[in-house]
Amino acid sequence: MTIAPGNNKTVLVTGINGYIASRIGYDLLEKGYTLRGTSRSQHSTDALIKGAYKEHSERVQMVAVPDITKPGAFDEAVKGVTSILHTASPLNYQLKALEEFVGPAVNGTVRILESATKNAGPQLKSIVLTSSVAAVSDPSKKPYAFTEADWNTWAEPKCKELGEKAPPSILYPASKVAAERAFWKFRGDHNPSFAMAAVNPAEVVGPPIQPPLFPSGLNETLKPIWDIFSGATQTLPPAIGSAGYIDVRDVSAMHIWCAENPTESANQRYLMAEGRYTYQAVADILRKAYPDRKLIPVGEPGSGYTPDYSWPEDSMTFVSSKAKKAAGRTFIKYDQSILETAKVFEKYL
């Protein structure tokens, strides 16, 4: 293995233990950056340092930020960095209240911006926010081709209307809208010297760079794939949210491109969705690749998705041409993402 030489630039990635963040961190290290990651505790990053990041450990710094919503939470972490990639925001469908979603998402976003403005230093060139297609889409618009110009205007009012009865499927998009609006409001209010950009991915899939010790630790987007692969479920669940998908490696590349190209990415949103998935597609892909695994559910083979996992004609779509052009890459297709994820999951069998 050839280890990339250091480039004397430090990039901060918040929520480094997360599925997307841990991949971004790995890709940054591979490109020669010094990685500074934040997590709730130092101990929680041991698996990454001893695992995926082991070959680059001399360029890994970890900072404990127990509460990202606290004023000054990131004051030490931001010092001296050239870019900040803010991914830290919970994706937990067990939460029940709007404030449980919105509070950490909005306040964490504002705190990183406050600390960056006050403490980072003049070498800071860019901050990139991990947002979501949930901040863009409206399920009532079908068919409709969403672009970066669109905003989700329905989730927050719906949450207020439903109160305690609002389900996580509405609470989560409301939190993503609120966090991204707070991000852009800060830019308007403070006009910081660094560039600001947002990446809006669909459902993120693909192999984790540091899989948990046990499958029970898989995140919300990977756990259903494991349940199908392992045979833990024989009932195929409905797709999450808009049913758009994007590979985690493409999401990582887009974040890094924004950070490395602050002039071009400043004040921009980048929508990322390669097509539409269903869990029927997951089952079909895995049954074909693993014919001896009889526990994989059958469902209704071939139903509910197109052969190339693109957008059906009668569905909402997300136009990702801007992101593809900027990053200069084609996006990974769903079957490749699922098969390479399953390869990682083989360790659990």
Q: Which residues are annotated as catalytic? A: 176
Q: What are phi and psi of 132, to 5 degrees?
A: -165, 155
Let me know: does 278 contact 312? Beta carbons within 8 Å: no
Phi, psi of 71 (to 5 degrees): -55, 135
- Tell me if 242 sits within 8 A of 318, measured CB to CB: yes
